[in-house]
Structure 1
């Protein structure tokens, strides 16, 4: 089992698009003050398919920043539902360990405890499961890559996704308690050993309470916040 290091940084749901300054500024700060580990917890880009060069060519700056940071920090990238097929982006795989959705959740150890890490789009019903599995299948990735090479289809697919409004999800205390209980129930069901905590993104939960058992990550796109692992747990902070 891999281990979490104190000082590890978690970034989720940045939904980065070309021209946005926030993710590059964060990575510049991490390059200047590198953490032992950087966890990119999915949906880092608004749309990115590793088999579709048109989707990642605009992000050459981000790739270069990750290359530089990888010389100082260990980088883990958990695929989300907006960034899939990353193993086909050969340059990225040189600098980061990629965890496809089908491999999630992943167990990491910290202070003799076991945490499950995932982007978070798990246990959402069969309708979503069929959709995301088809979209992220090797066949779909290859077909989309082929279409990208012979046509200009990609910009038309990407345009409505890029325009989609990204919101935070507000839960009142009662709904939050039910949501947390349901998420933990699913994670407990899927694990064979002990489970001391869950760290996930995806849901963009506004001002989610943090505890040692369930740790929802802030949506970087909405909050410009990251999480840092300390001996007391995850600490949420805004980028300077």
Structure 2
């Protein structure tokens, strides 16, 4: 199967960490639905929701409005959703969305003759992380945790909520280029011209051994999103900041 085409005008959003206490992403989706923001293709780069785990129904309530909007939009808009480490096993919740699981990332697309490798970014992070991420995606483990959480009145999800509210999504990572160089070496992405990731929230781009690396800024930090543009005499991505007051009386 040939790679999908990354369309000019496509919008990329990473790490919105949408939750009842953080709702700008909901407003952004409303802006697309109303036609205020126009795009032929929406690429969600993972951690779009702060807590959305497919086998844990108690996490759906946190995200009902966002899921409903994505399902409505996907009826007439191509949406590609790369699962992150905060939102996974979600394909059944978004039946018309092209959901890309972690094991199928990087997801290869093409744009103006270049191969673009897209991934959330939490790959090649060491054996400890690999063990952890395999464990939390195991359906048997999640079924057990769901039972314990239900019997305990939702204490696990409540504890996770407390942890998420305290997390700082906007801190810089020292020696970031060295970290990325080591990861890209392990991933062996010789087929790619450009690598685009989220996860690290750094909003940085640089060249490494002839490969263009782009780490997207987190929407959760400053509502930054990225639009694909023609690469003739300009960068691949144009970044913009979305600002909109929450709908009065709803959030």
Q: Same fold (TM over 0.5)?
A: yes
Structure 2 residue aligned with 1:79: 83
Q: How does 1:29-178 map to 2 (within 5 A)?
A: 29-31=31-33, 32=35, 33-87=37-91, 90=92, 92-153=93-154, 154-171=156-173, 175-178=175-178
Aligned partners of 2:205 and 2:212 also within 8 Å: no
Query: Which of 204, 221, 236 is the equivalent residue of 2:239?
Result: 236
| Alpha-carbon contact 1:51-1:144 (below 8 Å) kept | no
**Post-superposition shift, 1:150?**
4.7
1:144–1:75 CA distance, 2 compared to 1 (3 A)? farther
1:140 Cα deviation (Å)? 2.1
Deviations 1:151-192 (A, max 9, x none): 4234334233333322324257xx3443443343233x1x4x
Contact 1:114 1:197 in 2 (8 A): yes
Task: Give the TM-score taking structure 2 as reference length.
Answer: 0.83
Deviation at 1:10, TM superposition (A): 0.7
Conservation of the 8 A alpha-carbon contact between 2:15 and 2:198:
yes
Residue 65 of structure 1 aligns to a residue whose secondary structure is helix
Structure 2's unaligned 5+ residue stretches are: 244-251
Asked if 2 retains the 8 angstrom alpha-carbon contact of 1:120 and 1:202, the reply is yes
Q: Given the superposition, is the C-alpha separation of residues 51 and 185 from structure 1 closer, same or farther in structure 2, using an over 3 Å criterion?
A: same
**1:185 aligned residue:** 185
Say whether residues 1:7 and 2:23 are aligned partners: no
Match of 1:215 in 2: 214
Name which of structure 1's ranges 195-204 and 92-101 shifts more when overlaid on structure 2. Answer: 92-101
Q: Secondary structure at the match of 1:209?
A: strand
Q: Which runs of 4+ in 1 moved over 3 A?
A: 144-151, 153-157, 209-212
Higher helix share: 1
* Residue segments in structure 1 that go unaligned for 5+ positions in a row: none
Structure 1 12/163 Cα, relative in aligned 2: closer, same or farther at 3 Å? Answer: same
Q: Hey, what's the Cα distance between the residues in 2 that align with 1:239 and 1:202?
A: 20
**SS of residue paired to 2:133:** helix
What TM-score do the two structures reach when normalised by structure 1?
Answer: 0.86
SS in 1 for 2:26: helix
